[in-house]
Amino acid sequence: MIADILEALTPLLIDLFALLLTIVIGWLGVQANRYLGVQVEARHREALHKALMSGVMRAAELGWDRDAIADEALAYARQSVPDAIRALDAPDSVLRQLAEAKIRQLFKRV
């Protein structure tokens, strides 16, 4: 009697287990995608900030005024990390604000 019930339920239990396993694997895939996406974005952000600071320092060493320094920093970043700028999809106004923040940061040190 119990053996007959188990025999009848076995295909259903296997299907249920397969469905649960599929759900778990799908969820893990989504979590991995989120984590990797965050990691890539962080690398792009870091590369952009470093490029802006490099451009600021280069222009400041040449004795340029602040507007020219910001322009140079933006040009340098666009040339050195175009993929990061494209991936982050930041508008020019945000990029300029970042460059100006780097200028303020540099002049506070000096």
Q: What is the DSSP string of 41-72?
A: HHHHHHHHHHHHHHHHHHHHHTT--HHHHHHH
Averaged pLDDT, 70-96: 93
In this predicted model, what pLDDT tens digit does every residue of 22-63 receive, in sequence order?
A: 898 988 888 887 787 678 889 999 999 999 999 999 999 988
- pLDDT tier for residue 3 given thresholds of 50, 70 and 90: confident
Listed by start position, the domains of the chain span: 2-109
Average pLDDT of the chain, as a whole number: 89
End-to-end CA distance of the chain: 87
